[in-house]
Amino acid sequence: MMKNGFYVRAALPFVCTALLLTGCKTEGVSETQYVRLSDAACAFRGEGNSPLTIEVHANPAEWKAEALASWVEVTEVTATSFTVAVADNDSADTRKAEIAVRAGAAEQTIAVVQLAKDHVFPRYRCHPEFQYGTAMSPGGHYAGGFYSTYDEEGNVNQHPVIIDVATGAWTALGPYPNGLFRLFQTMCISDAGELVIACDDGCVVMTPDGNYFRLEVPADFTGLPKVSQVSSAGTWVGWARKNGSSCPLKWVDGVAAELPKPALNYRDEPIGDVQARGISADGRIVYGTTWDNLDFGMVYWDEAGEVHYVGEDVRYCRPVERPDGHGGTFTYNLCDGMWTTATNTNVSPNGKYIAGTYRIESLSADGSEKNERNYPAFYNTETQKTVVFDDLPGGGALSATSDGLGFTADSTFGPSSGKVVDIENGIVLGSALEWIESTYGIRIPSGYITYMPDSRDRFLGAMLFTGGPVVEGINWYVGPAR
């Protein structure tokens, strides 16, 4: 629940904080001078705010707080605190200011943000009853998932749900008996509200009018396809089997076309399985994974349909000799490069950025074990350059916005938190939850961001959830206020 006067309380680290305090003890200075505040930033509604108390610990003990804007007032000053009050914001825009607190040579500032009067806060939604995921459409218009119930005779019935993100209205489909098709994972949803769910024999596409259909494959393919993602214009991508291996597919106006595979797999060996995983909202860029040896190497197809490895500028393969366990050796290709698994939101809406994990490989001293180091990384399809966040070891990148915000997870296995980064400048902006709170004024209980449409007023996230005997990953989403 948000308090009346503010929605952000960002605590500062202890004294002598780098970049902020100028009074730290140096040669020739007899005592440490510092300013330590209870809050780094505070934000207010457009009107009707209560004053906010800021605690101050400083040396020297005499300090002064000064508001650097006329609409911000410093009041009720004591030896260890002061309050911040703001006038109502009559403009149509959010406004920002600072308060400077000085003690001797030390200085610290507090960022003050006030929303416009008519600003309303976005809505957080989570549906843990949805089994195996919630999807958001590329433009953020719809979310969808499904849940199951049992009838009086113990039969399983499945209930797909399509949700209008702006209004919150549900369209409940079915129920469909488990014998018709066994649903087991939500894959994606289109901006027309078509919900794709994987089942035991391919995928089924549920439409808002209660009908459903399946996408076809070319004649020389076997079995039904897996559909992974869709663009705003309704171009689908996925894969199906051909000659015993997975082959990437792209459907335009319902007609499937096979995408080319790279000449070699991730380890520079003969290519095998390749699966198309995602497509940018504008339909320009498709990306996918090689599925040989569980390497999950990232590939992408450009606007001309040509295939490349993601992060070619940082990709490095080299042969090494490893013991074969029988007194001899065998040649093995160690490869550094970008990878991802089955995620389908790794490309920005405009196709400029592809998010993934940069993996560096090495061998143990005796050559028997392969070691890996993983880092979040983003590939720019326009410049063909990769930005690796080596200050976030162990994590991976999940998605990006068209203007260069990146979203990461703090672990490549069972993540529970993540970061927001400035891709082009290589800067970590902070934890995802803190960034959401400071940007949107809402508090998310846990998790990280997995996709954000260009509107930036809605987004999809994920978290670990304990609702029974096991911990599972579930999705949540934020929609615009209505």
In DSSP notation, 217-233 reads: --TT-EEEEEEEEE-TT
Decide if 387 contacts 366 (C-beta within 8 A): no
425 contacts: CB under 8 Å, gap ≥ 6: none
Q: What whole-number distance in Å separates Cα of residue 414 and Cα of residue 409?
A: 9
- Residues 1-117, CATH architecture: Sandwich (2.60)
Cβ–Cβ < 8 Å for 76, 51: yes
CATH pick for 123-479 out of 2.130.10.10, 2.40.240.20, 3.30.230.10, 3.50.50.60: 2.130.10.10
Instruction: Say what the pLDDT of residue 70 is.
Output: 94
What DSSP character marks residue 49?
Answer: P
Could you read off the pLDDT of 76-85 as tens digits, one per residue?
999 999 999 9
What's the token pair of residue 160?
């797909």
| Of 83, 90, 11, the residue nearest 430 (C-alpha) | 11
pLDDT score, position 27: 46
What residues in the chain have per-residue pLDDT under 70? 1-30, 118-121, 466-470, 482
pLDDT at residue number 118: 66
Q: What is the DSSP letter of 5?
A: S
DSSP 18: T
Given this model, what pLDDT does residue 21 score? 32
Tokens of 94: 């959010």
Residue 9's pLDDT is: 32
Nearest-angstrom CA–CA distance, 137 and 195: 9
Residue spans of the domains in the chain: they are 1-117, 123-479
- pTM to 2 decimal places: 0.77
Please calculate the CA angle 301-307-309 and round it to the nearest 5 degrees: 100
